[in-house]
Structure 1
Amino acid sequence: MQKEEEEEEEEEEMEMEMDWGKHTLISNSMEAAIYRAAIAGDIDGLTTALQQDPELNLLNQLTPRDDTILHIAARLGHHHLAEHIQSCCPDLFKSKNYNNDHPLHLAAAGGHLSIVQSLSTIAGGHPSGRETEAEQEVLNVINGKNKQGNTPLHMAVKAHQYEVAELLFKRPGSALISCSLNLEKKSPLYMAAEAGHEGLFELMMKFVASNVDAQNMLKDGQPLLHVAITRRNMVVLGIALKYVPSLMDAHDRRGRRSLSYAASRGYVDGVCYILDRFIGCTYKRDGNGSYPIHEASSKGHIEVVKEFLQRFSDSKELLNRQGQNILHVAAKSGKANIVSYILKAPELEMLINDTDQDGNTPLLLATKKAHVEIVSILTWDKRVRLEIKNGEGFTALDAALNYRGTTRSIREMLFTALKEDIAPRGQPKTIETEKNSTLEAYKDRINTFLLVATIIITVTFAAGITVPGGYDDSETHKGMALMVKKSAFQVFVIANALAMYSSIIVAVLLIWAQLGDLNL
């Protein structure tokens, strides 16, 4: 049995060696003379190599990366060599390398305008009657995509070769490629907007405006206006809305339209531009259930929030899908600047104790999310009602005591911010243990501080009585410190006095806190 297994293993190893041998044999390798001629752009060298071996076929000459000699000439910009190769092998322009790149892809990426011009026109040498067929073959190459889904036009725009890009775009029958998506869901039009090339972008947008198919193709890609907003390019934004206003309603992955996206980015100029042209979009709810003003509030962009409230005063009443106003969203997101602004605006007072669909006030949401600063800001405002319960019967204090975060000190800080002596509880029985544990934790900390303060008082008092250097026993200056005129001694006395008196004050406050006032 063992012998049979060993024989089987030997056979498998032999098969693997044979397969490896086959792989080695089929590995491509271009003739050295032809490769050198292609790299150097040497037409004479290529001609000589072909004359020395008439059986050589340029179609079969491939590098290990499956590049043909035309790929090499196109990549390196050898225009005269590329024309010579096309005249010898008219069909070589259709060849692909390992990445599915045509020679046109490489020429476009390299910005070799003359080669792109020759490769994107009908190659010569076709019999009469094949002009239409040849034209279609050229269009297939122009529309051809490599493994990344990029067309030659993608390659040109990506490499910032805009003159080449315009040439390819203006090629009859190929303008629709400007909306073709690669694997990143980006079209050449999108990439032009991303790069900020306004001339090329407007040229493409004019075509899109008059072509329904192009507009439909854009719906599947990344939102065009979003990239203009991200780059804060007002010119690109204006061009896009000028030719295709319907782009305003395009959603991103989070369901945000362009206005909401601009609001979330804090792009005030973009928000104002869109509002000037599309007033009604302020009241359009996004796919994620929010309005533009909610997006600005959640990100803390106060200038954008002010712009919305100034233009549309009733936008303060807008509620997202959870029934939350802008104060709810700001409190939940921990945006103290928005919360402070709303509390200072008398016209926004209605938002302070408003509840969402689960009965949560802004204070409750901030407590649940452990935003201590927000809780502190809200509790210091006398208009905030601490006794309001949510749908579960919890007040803000209940939420603080039931906080299950990993950092214990946050719960204690929330507890302190809510002023335990005046903040009511909704479910005292369920949270009594949490309350007691919090009180005990604070008392332990108070005792530690009190011990340290007492030690400092003792040491500083002793240092004040037994001063360094001793006292003067002479009749004229009896009782005076010997080092009283030394500057270092004077600094010591002042620092020692400050330490002693501040420690006494701290000790008094801590004793007071021990009696029940934890806010101290």
Structure 2
Amino acid sequence: MISKHFSTCLQLWCHSWMGSPLTGALYSMWWPYGDSDGFLRSVDIIHSRAKHLLFAQNKNGDTPLHCAARAGMFRMVSHLISLARDESTSVNRVKEFLEMENKLKETALHHAVHIGDNGIVKLLMEANSELASFPKSGTSPLYLAMLLEEDIIAETLYSASNMKLSYSGPNGQNALHAAVLRGRELTKKILEWNSDLTAQTDESGSTPLHFAAAMVGQSLRGSVCCQVLEANSATLYQSDHNGLFPIHVAASVGERGTVIMFINRSPTSASLRDSMGRTFLHVAAEKKKVGIVSFVCRNRSLSWILNMQDNDGNTALHLAIQTGSLPMFCALLGNRQIRLNLSNKKRQTALDTSQYKIPSGFFDDQNSEARIHFALKVISARSGGCRRDHFEDNYNDQLKHYEKEELAKVKDSTQTLCIAVVLIATMTFGATFALPGGYRADEHTNGGTPTLSGSYAFDAFITASTLSFILSAMSIVGLIYSGYYSRSRRIYLLVALHFGATSVTCFTAAFALGLYMVLAPVAHKSAVTICVISTLVVLCNKIEFWLNWALLTRPLCTRIGLIRMLAILATRIICNLLMEFWPIIFIFVWATYTRN
């Protein structure tokens, strides 16, 4: 039996990373009897013939003890420790055996933590109470236990170490960095054991509070962020290597509750600046965190930071305009304490920045940048100290840069638009010769004519179908010519887009009128309902228009007053409705005219 196990060990050795026979035998963690008496006797036989193999390492630096701990063999681990003790009466020899590290700077204790075996962890710590302090630099067993959420093992390491354990982790982190990522209970334990970890930084200069501030939903009482802050509130004023304080980190991830908690704990933290001179409001504006920007604008106690400028002279308003976020711009514009005419180091005010940000797209009248620029002009915002011709030269250079990118976008959009208008033209053409109600019989006086001809709805239906076909055909022509004449491409594309969108309106009207003619005599309410619902197609075509004006209403009212704002809003809405519904007006007016 012994020889059989010995033979098995030798065979495993041949296939086990070219390590020692003893190491190869212990690599049989998949073997169901790796911790049995037979294998223990096999280890004794190998050890009696070559005692030095007990300390031998394979190409990964693993000793037999590493392999046994990784396989979860409690008896084998205990037996190997006994062999190391029998080999020498010196305790240092056992200590040396337990503290041996592989190429990853891991001891057997690390492998026991990896597999979550608290029994082996306790066994190893009883043999050497200082084992949790290895390696001296790098990932400690306690850090690993925190990362794997092995709280029982963490308590074992702490209680059995006699306070001689390492908290270190990779990249300069410590166990508290890992604990804040895993929850309140582990964080509470680490803080009770060593509160000095709160001030320690990793390679990037980040403290555990930086890590906690970057987590979502950590603003409640008793949360991880609150625990770390209460343990050492001074870390709120400790920046990383980029100059970012915890409040900047919280703002960058949009954690409004955490920002509020920091400000309530220390109001002066609101004025902290990073290496680029940015406050947390600048960071929130740059990262498009609308919730935090809105909170600052509504909070009167923070009005003193609204107009602070970074190293480039940009205020939060400048950065909000640069990001093109209309909701964030409206939040800032609605606060009358925001100064509109502050210039940055490029001598650009908010109005100048908005002019730069308007893309050179072919359909830029609907984007947020154009709306922002329009709003600033309405409230009489001023330009900066730059000469107008210099400003226009720089702006034209920027437009030329954007044109190349825009051509690629136009290529994709024109393909989609062309398919759409061709389908509309095809369906309208077919509907014109397959009229609702059919045709009169040949023996009739007006044989072959539509049965519903002469009615008001029929005249409107024919007009709508005709307009839909003509406008879609004109849109196709515009798309064709836009590919040949590069100088007039913008004009042709605008014509194609407008006529294509208008043809959809006419096609929708033809659909509703066709159903109305058929259903009205027998189901009048259903016919009317269909006509009303069909108008949603036209309204959805301008959904961005309605949303943008809904956002601009409050800040414009704050800046220019209710009466003027209503006048501007009414003018824009009426013009937009006329642009969208002129085909409907023409259809019904023409049908009324033909009836008379």
Whole-angstrom CA distance in 2 between matches of 1:46 and 1:312? 69
Distance 1:424 1:122, change over 3 A: same
The corresponding residue for 2:350 is 396
Q: Report the alpha carbon displacement of residue 153 of structure 1 after superposing the two structures with TM.
A: 0.8
From 336, 339, 347, the equivalent of 2:290 is: 336
Matches for 1:420-431 after TM superposition, within 5 Å? 420-421=376-377, 422-426=380-384, 427=386, 428-431=388-391
Q: Which has the higher contact order (CA 8 A, sep 6+)?
A: 2
Whole-angstrom CA distance in 1 between matches of 2:134 and 2:203? 19
Is the Cα–Cα contact under 8 Å of residues 209 and 215 in structure 1 kept in the other structure? no
Whole-angstrom CA distance in 2 between matches of 1:503 and 1:218? 56
Please list the CA deviations of residues 452-484 of structure 1 after superposition, one character each: whole Å capped at 9, or x if unmatched.
5665676778889999659xxxxxxxxxx9726
Whole-angstrom CA distance in 2 between matches of 1:163 and 1:141? 19
The corresponding residue for 1:114 is 75
Whole-angstrom CA distance in 1 between matches of 2:76 and 2:536? 84
The corresponding residue for 1:263 is 213
Whole-angstrom CA distance in 2 between matches of 1:307 and 1:257? 18
The corresponding residue for 2:200 is 250
Matches for 1:362-377 after TM superposition, within 5 Å? 362-377=316-331
Please list the CA deviations of residues 132-184 of structure 1 after superposition, one character each: whole Å capped at 9, or x if unmatched.
3xx54443332222333322111111111121012112213x624444178xx
Whole-angstrom CA distance in 2 between matches of 1:298 and 1:78? 53
Distance 1:120 1:208, change over 3 A: closer
Q: Report the alpha carbon displacement of residue 382 of structure 1 after superposing the two structures with TM.
A: 3.5
- The unaligned stretches of length 5 or more in structure 2 are 403-487, 543-570, 581-596
Whole-angstrom CA distance in 1 between matches of 2:320 and 2:301? 22
- The unaligned stretches of length 5 or more in structure 1 are 1-41, 51-57, 471-480, 515-520
The corresponding residue for 2:431 is none
Q: Report the alpha carbon displacement of residue 338 of structure 1 after superposing the two structures with TM.
A: 0.4
Matches for 1:131-170 after TM superposition, within 5 Å? 131-132=89-90, 135-170=91-126
Matches for 1:76-91 after TM superposition, within 5 Å? 76=31, 77-88=34-45, 89-90=47-48, 91=51
Is the Cα–Cα contact under 8 Å of residues 178 and 204 in structure 1 kept in the other structure? no
Tell me, what secondary structure is at the counterpart of 1:359?
A: coil
Structure 1 range deviating more: 402-411 or 234-243: 402-411
Whole-angstrom CA distance in 1 between matches of 2:505 and 2:86? 104
Residue 301 of structure 1 aligns to which amino acid in structure 2? E
Are 1:171 and 2:122 counterparts?
no
Whole-angstrom CA distance in 2 between matches of 1:80 and 1:98? 28
Matches for 1:3-402 after TM superposition, within 5 Å? 42-43=1-2, 45-46=4-5, 62-65=13-16, 66-71=18-23, 73-74=25-26, 75=29, 76=31, 77-88=34-45, 89-90=47-48, 91=51, 92-123=53-84, 126=87, 130-132=88-90, 135-172=91-128, 175-180=130-135, 185-205=138-158, 210-211=163-164, 221-232=172-183, 234-266=184-216, 267-268=218-219, 269-402=223-356
Distance 1:124 1:341, change over 3 A: closer
Please list the CA deviations of residues 286-329 of structure 1 after superposition, one character each: whole Å capped at 9, or x if unmatched.
33312222211121111111112222233222222322222112
Structure 1 range deviating more: 497-506 or 276-285: 497-506
Is the Cα–Cα contact under 8 Å of residues 450 and 507 in structure 1 kept in the other structure? no
Tell me, what secondary structure is at the counterpart of 1:356?
A: coil
Whole-angstrom CA distance in 2 between matches of 1:125 and 1:263? 52
Is the Cα–Cα contact under 8 Å of residues 515 and 527 in structure 2 kept in the other structure? no
Is the Cα–Cα contact under 8 Å of residues 251 and 284 in structure 2 kept in the other structure? yes
Are 1:509 and 2:575 counterparts?
yes
Whole-angstrom CA distance in 1 between matches of 2:111 and 2:327? 50
Is the Cα–Cα contact under 8 Å of residues 73 and 79 in structure 1 kept in the other structure? no
TM-score between both structures, scaled by the size of structure 2? 0.63
Whole-angstrom CA distance in 1 between matches of 2:499 and 2:302? 48
Whole-angstrom CA distance in 2 between matches of 1:383 and 1:103? 71
Please list the CA deviations of residues 223-275 of structure 1 after superposition, one character each: whole Å capped at 9, or x if unmatched.
2111111111x232222222222211121343211112211214331122223
Distance 1:131 1:417, change over 3 A: same
Whole-angstrom CA distance in 2 between matches of 1:501 and 1:95? 79
RMSD: 4.3
Q: How many residues align?
A: 443
Q: Report the alpha carbon displacement of residue 186 of structure 1 after superposing the two structures with TM.
A: 1.9
